[in-house]
Amino acid sequence: MDCIFCKIIDGDIPAIKVLDEELVVAFMDINPSNQGHMLVVPKNHAENIFEISESELAATVKAVKRCAKAVKEVLNAEGITILQLNGKASDQIIPHFHIHIIPRWENDGLPVSTWEMKTGDMEEINDIARKVKKNITPSS
């Protein structure tokens, strides 16, 4: 497999790791959006949220919370952006599930979002919500 995150996890590519546990690793982003930008990655390869197991997702999210709290305290960040992308259409570049932790400060110049806020069609929103509710798989 030619996955850069798998190579980092296997030690084939160096990384500045801040957390290394049984199921999860967290390391600093070498192309940071802001000071302290890091990535949290499950050790088992899963391309996106649709492929990752629930137990590995839970371990990853728990690690995100711990790492976000630590970097917020260390850098005295005023906020944290947590970002997770799925598929090329959402701008996912590395096809290995990962969550970005990006420390934020007021007026740091980073856009909060890439989408434009606009009033939605409430009839359409309600229709989609009804369809999604019917299609949600019950939790196990």
Catalytic residues: 98
**Alpha-carbon distance 5 to 92, whole Å?**
13
What is the torsional sign of CA 57, 62, 65, 68?
negative
Cα angle 10, 11, 13; round to 5: 115
- CA 135/CA 15 separation, integer angstroms: 40
Tokens representing 37? 């930008």
